[in-house]
Amino acid sequence: MRLLNFRFLKKTDWASLGAAVILSATLMILPQGAKLWLGQKVVGTIFAPLEWPLSRARSLMASWKENAVLKDQLAKLNLEHAGLLEAARQNAGLRQALELKKLSSWNLVTAQIAGREPVLLSPDLLIDKGAGDSLEPGLVVLSTLGLVGLITSADKKQSTVQTVFSPDSRVSAIDLRSRVLGIFRTTAGMSCLFDRVPLRADVAPGDTLVSSGYGGVFPYGLMLGVVEKVGMDKRKLVLDVEVRPALDLNRINQVLVIRGGQDPALPLLTPVPVPDTSAVRAAKRKRSYQPQVIIRAPEFRIELPDTTPLQLEKSPQ
Amino acid sequence: MRYLKLFLLAWLAVFVQSSLSGLLSVWGLLPDFMAMIIGLTALTLGTGPGILTGVMAGFMADCYHPSTMGLFTLSGAVSGYWAGSLRERIYKDQLSSQLLTVGLLSLVRQLFEYWGRGGGGPGGYFSVLLRFGLGSALFTVLLGALLMPQMKHFLSRPGKTKLSLT
């Protein structure tokens, strides 16, 4: 206990400073291994127990800051991603429109959909081109999905399009396979029908319907839909043909207006044999099937005597 | 008890210096808590306790850097002695005197650290001093203005604490 009594410091401070310097010098001249051991022991005993929770707290704070930064980045990237998706969608639409323009001989005007009539069933569409772009009532509007409708009114900067889903709309349609003519219409905007089709007509589910051009309003070849269900009521003179329309008003944001040009020729009304129907494919398979006789060489090996030396002997002669 | 108190203060200074001072870093400048503790102890209690606190804190700091073991012990002892010897020459109870002493101690300790770790010649030291040393000393002084009155109260609490050794 006497050694721990620091009263001698009263007498002279030099003594304590000297002791401290000697202690420092002793520590300095310790071997490197001893220094390491001493350091690790002291730090591990008196500092490490508090270091662990502190490092957890530091990590938590760092995570909190990092989280805030990452949330910011995520929000920015989400916005950017949404913008890129929209650009890709517009790009695809424009490419399709461009292809359509190349294929047809119509004079087409591209227009964006500026609005929809706020009704649930068969809304009319507003497009951003009008009389100022030489659009007028009666012009046909189509999209990459098929026939859209007809312009009913045109202001200077926008026009109203009555779609094929309007209860007042009637389109002369033709079954591409059987060349049966009928009228494409909707029943109060709820479902689409291929109407006025005689009972004995050849219409089957899966048949494609396009505008026939015989009505004089819509040109031939604009996609209308696919026959979904064919029903027969003997009390009626016509078939009940339900059609799944090709057009989905919620999936188009761009349309094309036919402002003039050459309409395609009217279609033939006699059925044309379709080269790739199931019957044709079956006939092809039948024709192509011929029994084949395969002649194979024997698979075992016949060892021949080695004649090389004999040939070598003969070759000088 | 009194030595335990000094040990706790030294331990606290080293722990805060090694673990928490990074959180208080401003433009790369760190406060010198060890200088604060050593200076305050020496000014309040005298040269002996100052040297003792310096040696304890320095030794603990040395344990974090075993390759230069003894360097911080020496700088702590010298700082404690020097601050204690100023005690009779300045108004030791004035906060401004204490802060000035602590700021100077911070510079002295940086001098030891620079040369002890093979930093280079005097020119290099003045460059480091201008870039970091003065800023760190000023930071220590500013932080000391907030903390030192509380620490002094803890050191000189009446009752069982009888540390007036000088």
Domain coverage including residue A130: 108-261
Answer yes or no: do A192 and A117 share one domain.
Answer: yes
Measure the CA–CA gap between B138 and B129, rounded to whole angstroms.
12
Would you give the DSSP letter of residue A250? G
Answer yes or no: do A17 and A113 share one domain.
Answer: no
Mutation site for A-interface testing, chosen from B25, B43, B63, B166 by largest number of A Cβ within 10 Å: B63
Answer yes or no: do A257 and A167 share one domain.
Answer: yes
User: Can you give the pLDDT at residue A242?
Assistant: 92
- Where among A24, A46, A68 does a domain terminate? A46
Domain coverage including residue B140: 2-20+30-155
User: Can you give the pLDDT at residue B6?
Assistant: 84
8 Å CB contact of A7 and B165: yes
Has residue A246 been placed in a domain?
A: yes
Q: Which residue of B20, B48, B65 is in closest CB contact with A13?
A: B48
Q: What is the pLDDT of residues A146-161, one digit of tens each?
A: 899 999 888 888 888 9
Confidence of residue A1 (pLDDT cuts 50, 70, 90): very low
Q: Which residue of A4, A16, A42 is in closest CB contact with B60?
A: A42
Chain B residues touching A9 at Cβ < 8 A: 46-49, 51, 165-166
The CATH number linked to B112 is 1.10.1760
pLDDT surpassing 90 at residue A35 = no
* Cβ pair A98, A256 in contact under 8 A: no
Has residue B10 been placed in a domain?
A: yes
Has residue A140 been placed in a domain?
A: yes
* Cβ pair A144, A96 in contact under 8 A: yes
Chain A residues touching B74 at Cβ < 8 A: 20-21, 24-25, 28
Nearest to A187 by CA among A206, A169, A203: A169
Measure the CA–CA gap between A85 and A80, rounded to whole angstroms.
9
Has residue A100 been placed in a domain?
A: no
Provide the phi-psi class of A234: left if phi over 0, else alpha when psi is between -120 and 50, else beta: alpha
Has residue A234 been placed in a domain?
A: yes
Nearest to B80 by CA among A8, A1, A16: A16
- Where among A261, A277, A303 does a domain terminate? A261
Would you give the DSSP letter of residue A206? T
For the question of an ipTM over 0.90, the answer is no
Collapsed DSSP state (helix, strand, coil) of residue B108: helix
Answer yes or no: do A119 and A243 share one domain.
Answer: yes
Domains: count for chain B: 1
Has residue B134 been placed in a domain?
A: yes
Cβ contacts from A onto B, under 8 A: 104
- Where among A261, A276, A303 does a domain terminate? A261
- Name the phi and psi angles at B143, rounded to 5: -70, -35
Chain A residues touching B165 at Cβ < 8 A: 6-7, 9-10
- Which is higher by pLDDT, A104 or A172? A172
The CATH number linked to A237 is 2.40.10.350
Chain A residues touching B80 at Cβ < 8 A: 20
* Average pLDDT of the residues of chain A: 79
Answer yes or no: do A118 and A215 share one domain.
Answer: yes
Widest CA span of chain A, in angstroms?
131
Answer yes or no: do A40 and A180 share one domain.
Answer: no
- B59 to chain A nearest CA, in Å? 8
Domains: count for chain A: 2
Nearest to A19 by CA among B113, B69, B80, B67: B80
Q: What is the pLDDT of residues A266-301, one digit of tens each?
A: 787 776 555 555 655 666 566 655 555 555 555 555
